[in-house]
Structure 1
């Protein structure tokens, strides 16, 4: 596997360089120019079709492996950021392993949290729906009580 990782990393890096594009473009131009020489024969067409199909087939696997590695690295970095924040919810660590249904539930949670945050106009005040509801309720009570938010005790 390590040899495939090394080859994949090298090929992905090389394929993303301008020289790779220029080479591929040049091959197509040369192929096009040779069309009249070969009288646009079936063999002439088969050469480019076969070549591009093989390269595309192999590149799919190389690029997918590279993308998997990059995605995993990104997920680990995000997990580290989440874990390092005192007020962050650790429920998002390894969120990529949730099922589609669980992701939908989590999305609804954050939509509700966002709606509560918009009401409060405070992006940093709460980190859970329970906290947001509690803060929102407390603010409403303070606003509705007499004397600027200080509740009077009955005498």
Structure 2
């Protein structure tokens, strides 16, 4: 198994675990235990440093795990949307892999669809027919 697959499997497992109520309960329990030990350690700097260092390290590592799982989810969603566009007869295949376009091309597409939406709303407002929105888009 290569390193990329191993990291992906680890990131997915970590994301599943950390998203469960049990993980939250464990984290909350650790905070309660830390707070309860404050009087024992006289609330000294080392006692505070333990929680600060621990939470910083965990937060730092979780950022990368969350970003990895979000990237994978977004890529999978884009592939699914591309397949729906490709399989829909009246859909424009120019919308496939839209996320790969530069900002100017994306803005051009956004304006195109905003114009179509305006036309559809106007047609719907002036015509009580149920297909007015569909007709205005064609």
Pick the TM interval, shorter chain.
0.7 to 0.9
User: Is there any run of 5+ residues in structure 1 with no aligned partner, and where?
Assistant: 132-155
Per-residue deviation at 1:97? Answer: 1.0
Larger Rg: 1
Superposition deviation, residue 124 in structure 1: 1.8
User: CA RMSD, aligned part only?
Assistant: 1.2
TM-score scaled by structure 2? 0.88
Which of 67, 81, 85 in structure 2 is aligned with 1:82? Answer: 85
Question: Shift in Å at residue 98 of structure 1?
Answer: 1.5
Q: Which residue of 2 aligns with 1:38?
A: 41
User: Does residue 115 in structure 1 map to residue 105 in structure 2?
Assistant: no
User: Between Structure 1 and Structure 2, which shows a larger proportion of helix residues?
Assistant: 2
Matched, 1:103 2:106: yes
| Alignment counterpart, residue 69 of structure 1, candidates 53, 68, 72 | 72
Which ranges in structure 2 are unaligned for 5 or more consecutive residues?
125-131
Query: 2:15 and 2:99 mapped to 1: Cα distance?
Result: 24
Superimposed CA distance per residue, residues 65-104 of structure 1 (whole angstroms, 9 cap, x where no aligned partner): 1111111111111111111111111121111111222222
Aligned length: 128
Can you list the C-alpha shifts for 1:37-92, whole angstroms capped at 9, x where unaligned?
10111000000011011111111111111111111111111111111111111121
